[in-house]
Amino acid sequence: MPSDAPFPDEHNHAICMSQALGNAAKLCLQRGVRLTPLRLQVLELVWRSHKPLGAYTILENLQTAQGRRAAPPTVYRALDFLLAQGLIHRIASLNAFIGCLHPEATHVGQFLICEHCGNAIELDTPEITNCIMQRAEILGFVVKSQTIEISGRCAHCQARYAS
């Protein structure tokens, strides 16, 4: 069974998460946008792990004030806000969402997704983008957004569950 340990083998995810949440609060303050309790809660849920999380999983784990179960638009609107602020990325190949590691600057998301443990590692590799931009430019194609999602097996799972 894959370990539930988040992400790189030895990494204190509590710190990882609190940094991300603190950073998000700071950025929203700077930008004059409101990281409301609901949005913060959704962001916290997304940051509970490094595994992309589906909207309906988030919904199930959402604690509303009155104990009533929230409806889908509640979650999708919060996700839309977080996406717009670059605080999360959407993983198209999984219909899921994951916290962004570098929300301060807009950038394209590049992910290595382990099929075994489910963790997604966000890359920040300009070479990949450059390579794509170069090829696009030759064809006169103007790039607006990029979906780069690589599936496979992470080093961690490769080592433990060689198959």
Partner DNA sequence: TTAAAAAAGTTATAATATAACATAATCAGT
Partner DNA sequence: ACTGATTATGTTATATTATAACTTTTTTAA
**Chain residues in the site for DNA (CB under 7 A):** 33-34, 36-39, 54-57, 64-65, 68, 70-74, 76-78, 81, 95
* Residues 59, 156: Cα–Cα separation, whole Å: 30
147 binds a second copy (CB under 8 A): yes
Q: Work out how close the CB of 12 gets to Zn ion at its nearest, in angstroms, rounded to a whole number.
A: 8
Nearest alpha-carbon partner for 75 in 64, 86, 87 = 64
| DSSP run (H or E) holding 29 | helix 13-31
Q: Work out how close the CB of 21 gets to Zn ion at its nearest, in angstroms, rounded to a whole number.
A: 12
Based on CB atoms, which residue is closest to DNA, 81 or 111?
81
Region near Zn ion per CB under 5 A, out of 2-10, 75-83, 112-120, 128-136: 2-10
Phi, psi (deg, nearest 5) at residue 127: -55, -40
| CB within 8 Å of 163: residues ≥ 6 apart | none
Based on CB atoms, which residue is closest to Zn ion, 78 or 100?
100
Nearest alpha-carbon partner for 46 in 17, 22, 72 = 17
One residue of 3, 84, 136, 161 binding a second copy per CB under 8 A: 136
* Residues 28, 60: Cα–Cα separation, whole Å: 26
**How many chain residues bind Zn ion (CB under 5 A)?**
6
* Residues 60, 87: Cα–Cα separation, whole Å: 21
Positions touching Zn ion (CB under 5 A) are: 6-7, 13, 16, 100, 109
Positions touching a second copy (CB under 8 A) are: 92-93, 112, 114-115, 121, 123, 125, 127-128, 131-132, 135-136, 139-155, 158-159
